[in-house]
A and B are shown apart, each in its own frame.
Chain A
Amino acid sequence: MRETVKLISMEGFEFVIDREAAMVSQTIRSMLTSPGGFSESKDGVVTFPDISTTILEKICQYFYWSLQYSRGKETKFHIEPELTLELMMAANYLHT
């Protein structure tokens, strides 16, 4: 029974992904597992008003790829060059 989390981009797009995938990001992980139990940590909805949809999409893809890679499947993760800068900033923010 996998739990899911919802990530919302600045434009309002909602990405529903597995909890495990989302935890690849340290920031999201600490948000979801903070002691003191934030409300909605059970529902798991996080809004990112500074991250565009394209980037957020790529990030979700990255989460899944990261999980696969750590399980042994050594494929490549392709990044379109024009996304790199924003992607890196987002990665920095999300600590991943």
Chain B
Amino acid sequence: MEPKIIDFEQGWDYIETGITALKRHSESLPVPKFTLEQYCDLYTAVYKMCVQKSPYDFSSQLYQKCCETMEEYMNSTVLPALNEKLGDEYMLLRELVERWSNYKVLVRALSHIFFYLQRFFIVRESLPSIETVGMGYFRDLVYNKLQSKVREAVLALVDKEREGEDIDRKVTKRVLEFYIEIGMERYEQDFESFMLKDTASYYSRKASSWIQEDDSINDYIFKSEQCLQKEKERVSHYLHFSSEPKLVKVVEHELFVVHENQILEKTHAEKQIGLGPLAKIFKQHVEDTTINAKEQVLIRKVIELHEVYMVTECFQSHTLFHKDLKRAVAGSDALLATFCDRIILKKWGSEELSEEDIEKVVMFLAYISDEKDIFAEFYRKKLALRLLLNRGVSDDHERSILTKLKQQNRGQFTFKMERMINDLTLSRENQNSFKEYVAKPGIGLTVTVLTSGIWPSYKTFGINLPNEMVKCVEVFKEFYETKTKGRKLTWIHSLGTCHVNGKFDQKSIELIVSTHQAVVLLLFNTKDKLSYNDIQTQLNVGHEDLVWLLYSLSCGKYKILIKEPATETVSRTDVFEFNSKFTARMCRVKIPLPHVNDKKKVIEDVDKDRRYAIDATIVRIMKGKKALGLQQLVSECVQQLNQMFKPDIKTIKMRIEDLITRDYLERDRENPNMFRYLA
């Protein structure tokens, strides 16, 4: 069965008739209808023309003709129709939308008919598909020429809608879909960007006029909220969803940020509560002012902001502000403690320590902190250092700060710190009595007695004291026994200071060192040279601690001892010699010990404390209630502990388990979620 060779002209004529019918079909014109049979025939015709052996293989001609057809259709039908309607914006849009959808149908049908081409020829020759070509024509011939007009038309409609008129949303939606189908970038560049600009100018006009007219800030806020809502609706009705965030941002900017200051002034004057968007501006404001702020500046700014905006009580209760402010100042507890510390020590120039400053800080703290206990811990440590090393300002000042802190938080917060100050006062009295007790001033010994548990825990290590010091210690012990019986004294030498007179070649210099360091130095009273091992045996100190000590005396800024070999680190084979050549400008020199960064340790300590706190709270609750379900227990816990910190639910559960193993609680036999208190 030899297939009939189809001549191109013939074939094409046949196809062309088919296509004309197709065109009419795509325009939904009534008769004649385009049937499946016709489609089949056309498809077959194309197929045959492509599989014929050359020179009857008409693939490329077919492709060309197909493209020409599409182009011709554009020029003859679509363009004129559109050009007709150029006068009327609205009609233009409608026509565009309709032509576009018709055209799509046509192209789709054509590409199906010519599908065979698609499968082989087009792929082989890497040509653009028929659909792509078709779209290309539409884009080039119609879109590029008309798009600015179209855009204007749409924007005019949008503005109309904003003014309250009803517009044909369907058409608008389809127009925008059209844009998107032409290409997302087209949508963004040719439409969206203009739309955003238009929106901005629209709202900026509105905003200016409203700010002038409106007496009440509430009205303004209300109107703005409404606009925002409407714009969001607009997006859902016909804009592309990706426009939403950009649109919202523009509107917010025009309505709020630009007039930020005016709004806030008005709010201030009226002391009325702000709404959601106000919180947003506020956050923006806070972020703007705290970006790139250095520590000190940051804290100051934050406190200023706090002051400015929190004056009105209403704000304080508004949770939105809480959240925003918190977010903006995350992680500042340690900073805050440092700030307080430094302010008190007047390290920052000649800033007067004012009552107000402290009040502000305290209020701010109360307001902000979720983790008051971390702040407390840091503060306590710094306070301890201040008190012990006599760095602080007067006691009264410290007390007044603590009083303020106490007012804002519950007693527990400042309990320990107050005791610390009391300890010191007590110690001073003690000291005076001690001086009387010792009658003859042979020993210049000052002892500060601290109540353990109140003060932060300090690491100390034992050391063999030289005889003179031992005598001092004994004397004080006796004295203390007379005052109070039954107390155990642990000496924290790491916190002690000694004034040692060093007789160097050039001149005598008084060295201010820690007790441990002094002990090491005193060894050299008898011998000039000592090896590491000698020192260790005589002092009975652990390796790490000894390294630390010797490092400070031989490798630091002031080399009281000469180390052989003169390396940067201390090792077991080193030999130390008294540096008689040492000299310094001043007659009194402080030899510091390398400081350990304790931030992490503080947080660890706090964590431990929290666990104890959770334990105590659980036991307390269970004791009262005897039996309680898991959920209630957890929520009670959270409530009670919320003063100090936000307990982690997981941790609470862990602690419950722990208490069960320690026989404080038991699980109910029937209900695993119920707990009973074990007396």
Q: How far is the CA of A39 from the CA of B26 in the complex (A)?
A: 13
Decide yes or no whether A45 CB sits under 8 A from chain B. Answer: yes
Known: A27-B43, A93-B47. A38 touches B112 (CB 8 A): no
Q: How far is the CA of A31 from the CA of B109 in the complex (A)?
A: 9
Q: How far is the CA of A48 from the CA of B48 in the complex (A)?
A: 13
Decide yes or no whether A35 CB sits under 8 A from chain B. Answer: yes
Nearest residue (CB) in A for B37 is A47
Decide yes or no whether B300 CB sits under 8 A from chain A. Answer: no
Decide yes or no whether B145 CB sits under 8 A from chain A. Answer: no
Nearest residue (CB) in A for B48 is A50
A47 proximity list for chain B (CB < 8 A): 37, 40
In the complex, the answer to whether A35 meets B105 with C-beta atoms within 8 Å is yes
Count contacts between A and B, CB distance < 8 Å: 52
A-facing residues in B3-34 (Cβ within 8 Å): 3, 25-26, 33-34
In the complex, the answer to whether A95 meets B115 with C-beta atoms within 8 Å is yes
Residue-by-residue, is A1-45 near B (CB-CB < 8 Å gives 1, otherwise 0)?
A: 000000000000000000000000011001100111011110001
A-facing residues in B88-118 (Cβ within 8 Å): 105, 108-109, 112, 115-116
Known: A27-B115, A95-B115, A95-B119. A35 touches B37 (CB 8 A): no
A45 proximity list for chain B (CB < 8 A): 36
Q: How far is the CA of A36 from the CA of B115 in the complex (A)?
A: 17
Least distance between A93 CB and chain B CB atoms (Å): 6
In the complex, the answer to whether B36 meets A41 with C-beta atoms within 8 Å is yes
A93 proximity list for chain B (CB < 8 A): 44, 47, 116
In the complex, the answer to whether A30 meets B115 with C-beta atoms within 8 Å is yes
Decide yes or no whether A46 CB sits under 8 A from chain B. Answer: yes
Q: How far is the CA of A58 from the CA of B599 in the complex (A)?
A: 82
Decide yes or no whether B39 CB sits under 8 A from chain A. Answer: yes
In the complex, the answer to whether A34 meets B112 with C-beta atoms within 8 Å is yes
In the complex, the answer to whether B34 meets A38 with C-beta atoms within 8 Å is yes
B3 proximity list for chain A (CB < 8 A): 50
B35 proximity list for chain A (CB < 8 A): 38-40
In the complex, the answer to whether B43 meets A46 with C-beta atoms within 8 Å is no
Q: How far is the CA of A50 from the CA of B48 in the complex (A)?
A: 10
Nearest residue (CB) in A for B101 is A35
In the complex, the answer to whether A36 meets B33 with C-beta atoms within 8 Å is no
Q: How far is the CA of A80 from the CA of B44 in the complex (A)?
A: 26
In the complex, the answer to whether A38 meets B36 with C-beta atoms within 8 Å is yes
Nearest residue (CB) in A for B108 is A35
Nearest residue (CB) in A for B44 is A50
Most buried by A among B34, B35, B112, B119: B112
Least distance between B99 CB and chain A CB atoms (Å): 15
In the complex, the answer to whether B40 meets A46 with C-beta atoms within 8 Å is yes
Q: How far is the CA of A63 from the CA of B518 in the complex (A)?
A: 98
B116 proximity list for chain A (CB < 8 A): 93, 95
In the complex, the answer to whether A34 meets B39 with C-beta atoms within 8 Å is yes
Q: How far is the CA of A50 from the CA of B1 in the complex (A)?
A: 10
Number of A interface residues in the complex (CB < 8 A)? 21
B33 proximity list for chain A (CB < 8 A): 39
Q: How far is the CA of A31 from the CA of B47 in the complex (A)?
A: 15
In the complex, the answer to whether B36 meets A31 with C-beta atoms within 8 Å is yes
A41 proximity list for chain B (CB < 8 A): 36
B39 proximity list for chain A (CB < 8 A): 31, 34, 38
In the complex, the answer to whether B36 meets A46 with C-beta atoms within 8 Å is yes
Known: A35-B105, A36-B26, A50-B44. A30 touches B36 (CB 8 A): no
Q: How far is the CA of A35 from the CA of B51 in the complex (A)?
A: 27
Residue-by-residue, is A43-59 near B (CB-CB < 8 Å gives 1, otherwise 0)?
A: 00111111000000000
A34 proximity list for chain B (CB < 8 A): 39, 108-109, 112
In the complex, the answer to whether A40 meets B36 with C-beta atoms within 8 Å is yes
Q: How far is the CA of A86 from the CA of B353 in the complex (A)?
A: 101
In the complex, the answer to whether B43 meets A36 with C-beta atoms within 8 Å is no
Q: How far is the CA of A95 from the CA of B114 in the complex (A)?
A: 13
Nearest residue (CB) in A for B105 is A36
Nearest residue (CB) in A for B102 is A36
Q: How far is the CA of A39 from the CA of B37 in the complex (A)?
A: 9
Least distance between A73 CB and chain B CB atoms (Å): 29
Known: A34-B109, A35-B108. A40 touches B37 (CB 8 A): yes
Nearest residue (CB) in B for A10 is B1
Q: How far is the CA of A27 from the CA of B111 in the complex (A)?
A: 12
Least distance between B390 CB and chain A CB atoms (Å): 86
Q: How far is the CA of A50 from the CA of B108 in the complex (A)?
A: 25
B109 proximity list for chain A (CB < 8 A): 34-36
In the complex, the answer to whether A31 meets B26 with C-beta atoms within 8 Å is no
Q: How far is the CA of A36 from the CA of B108 in the complex (A)?
A: 9
A-facing residues in B179-224 (Cβ within 8 Å): none
A95 proximity list for chain B (CB < 8 A): 115-116, 119
A26 proximity list for chain B (CB < 8 A): 115
Least distance between B14 CB and chain A CB atoms (Å): 14
A40 proximity list for chain B (CB < 8 A): 35-37
Q: How far is the CA of A40 from the CA of B35 in the complex (A)?
A: 7
B112 proximity list for chain A (CB < 8 A): 30-31, 34
Known: A41-B36, A47-B37, A95-B115. A36 touches B47 (CB 8 A): no
In the complex, the answer to whether A36 meets B40 with C-beta atoms within 8 Å is no
Least distance between A19 CB and chain B CB atoms (Å): 14
Q: How far is the CA of A91 from the CA of B445 in the complex (A)?
A: 108
Least distance between B41 CB and chain A CB atoms (Å): 9
B-facing residues in A43-96 (Cβ within 8 Å): 45-50, 89, 92-93, 95
Q: How far is the CA of A45 from the CA of B34 in the complex (A)?
A: 14
Q: How far is the CA of A35 from the CA of B108 in the complex (A)?
A: 8
Q: How far is the CA of A74 from the CA of B47 in the complex (A)?
A: 33
In the complex, the answer to whether A31 meets B40 with C-beta atoms within 8 Å is yes
Least distance between A54 CB and chain B CB atoms (Å): 13
Least distance between A50 CB and chain B CB atoms (Å): 7
Nearest residue (CB) in B for A50 is B44
B43 proximity list for chain A (CB < 8 A): 27, 31
Least distance between A22 CB and chain B CB atoms (Å): 13
B108 proximity list for chain A (CB < 8 A): 34-36
Q: How far is the CA of A31 from the CA of B35 in the complex (A)?
A: 10
A36 proximity list for chain B (CB < 8 A): 25-26, 34, 105, 108-109
Q: How far is the CA of A50 from the CA of B36 in the complex (A)?
A: 16
Q: How far is the CA of A93 from the CA of B115 in the complex (A)?
A: 10
B25 proximity list for chain A (CB < 8 A): 36
A to B CB contacts below 8 Å, 6 in the list: A31-B43, A34-B108, A36-B34, A45-B36, A92-B51, A93-B44
Kindly list the 4 A-B residue pairs having the minimum CB-CB distance in the complex, ordered from nearest: A38-B36, A40-B36, A36-B105, A30-B112
Known: A34-B109, A38-B39. 13 other contacts (CB 8 A): A26-B115, A27-B43, A31-B36, A31-B39, A34-B112, A35-B109, A40-B35, A40-B37, A46-B36, A47-B37, A93-B44, A95-B115, A95-B119
A positions within 8 Å CB-CB of B: 26-27, 30-31, 34-36, 38-41, 45-50, 89, 92-93, 95
